[in-house]
Amino acid sequence: MIDVVVLGSSGTKPTKDRNTSAYYCRCEGISFLLDAGEGVQQSLLKYCTQFETEFIIISHKHGDHYFGLIPYLVTMHLLNRVKPLSLYLPPDMKFFETLLSVQGIKLCYDLNIVYYSDTSEIKYRKFSISFFKTNHTVNCYGFKLSVHERYTLDEEKLNLISDKKNLSTLQRGIAVFEGDCLITPKDVCKTHIPKFTVVYGADSRPISPDLLGGCKLLIHEGTFEDDELHLAKSKKHSCVSEAKALAPLVDVLCVSHIGSKIRRTKNEANIFFAKDGLSFTVSNMGIVSGKYQISSALHGRI
C-alpha cells in the first residue's frame, strides 16, 4: 500500500493556495519526499501526520522543485535528528553541496547524497523506485514506485515448510527447496497480490505510455491550457489535454504542476486535479481513496 499526499501542486511559482512541487509518500512504513519545492515544511505540517522522512528524491535543478530543501534539512538539524537522511539528486546538481558549504550549514545527522541516473534503483524489501529521463529543458527524471508482487500464505499448508526462513521467500514469489523437494508459491499460498506502480512524471512533455504498465496512480504535469500548446512545446511542459490522454492507461490520473493560467480544475471520471493536501491511498485493488483533508496531528510538535 502506498500513501501519497500532494504537498505542492503549483507549476513554477507559488500561489495563494498552492505551494510548488512536492509530494509525500509512505510505503510499507517508509516515508519519503518526491521533490521539495518552496513551502514543503508548512505543507507537511498541515497535511501529514509525519514530518521526518527516510529519504528525498529531487527530479531536477529548477528551483520550484528544490527550493524548500535546505530549510527542511536545517529544521531536521534543529529537531536534533539522529537518523541519517539520504538525498537522491540528479547528476547535474553537484552544486547543491557547494550551496550547503557556502552557507556554512553543518548538520547534526549524516546527510548521504547520492547522484542517481536512469539505471539507478532504490530497493527496499517490499518496494523499489526506478528512474526515467523525462523530456524537459534541463536534465530531469521521473520516478516509478513499484510494490513487488507477493503471496499470502495458506495456514493449512504451512506444515510443508520446515525451514521457516523459506516462508518470506515464498511470499515474494520465489520457489524454495525443502530437502530435494521444490516448493513453489502456488503450493503453499492462497492469494497472489500482483505488482503495482505509482508513477511521477515530474516536468516533461507527455511521458511514454510504455512506463504505465500496472500503474494505479500517475502524477503528471499539466502546466498549460490547450490553447498554449506552442508554449508547452517550447518550454518542454505538457498541456492539460496531453496529460488527460494518458488517463485511460492508469487507474487514476492526478494532473499537477498546475500553471497559473489553467482555467478549469474540475475532477472528472478518473482524473483528479491536484490541490495541496489531496491524498491518495493506493493498493493493488486501485485507489482506496482520493481525499482532501487537513491533518492536525503535527500541530504544536515543532
Residues that bind Zn ion (CB under 5 A): 62, 203
Write down the least CB distance from residue 113 to Zn ion, Å.
Answer: 21
Q: Other C-beta atoms within 10 Å of 184: how many?
A: 13
Tell me whether residue 229 or residue 249 sits nearer to Zn ion (CB atom): 229
Instruction: Estimate to the nearest angstrom the gap between the alpha carbon of 34 and the chain centroid.
Output: 5
Write down the least CB distance from residue 63 to Zn ion, Å.
Answer: 9
Give the cell for residue 142: 521521473
102: exposed, middle or buried (C-beta count within 10 Å: 0-12, 13-18, 19+)?
exposed
Name residue, grid cell 500553471. 259
Write down the least CB distance from residue 203 to Zn ion, Å.
Answer: 4
Write down the least CB distance from residue 13 to Zn ion, Å.
Answer: 12
In the 8-state DSSP scheme, what is residue 268? Answer: B
Tell me whether residue 31 or residue 238 sits nearer to Zn ion (CB atom): 238
Tell me whether residue 27 or residue 33 sits nearer to Zn ion (CB atom): 33
Tell me whether residue 172 or residue 236 sits nearer to Zn ion (CB atom): 236
Tell me whether residue 26 or residue 62 sits nearer to Zn ion (CB atom): 62
Write down the least CB distance from residue 233 to Zn ion, Å.
Answer: 15
d(CA 36, CA 30): 17
Tell me whether residue 203 or residue 228 sits nearer to Zn ion (CB atom): 203
Write down the least CB distance from residue 38 to Zn ion, Å.
Answer: 14
Contact predicate 17/46, CB 8 Å: no
Residue 70, classed as helix, strand or coil, is helix
DSSP 230-263: HHHHHTT--BHHHHHTTGGGSSEEEEESB-TT--
In the 8-state DSSP scheme, what is residue 204? Answer: -
Compute, in degrees rounded to 10, the torsion defined by CA atoms 92, 94, 98, 100.
110
d(CA 175, CA 185): 6
Write down the least CB distance from residue 60 to Zn ion, Å.
Answer: 6
Tell me whether residue 26 or residue 237 sits nearer to Zn ion (CB atom): 237
d(CA 287, CA 197): 11
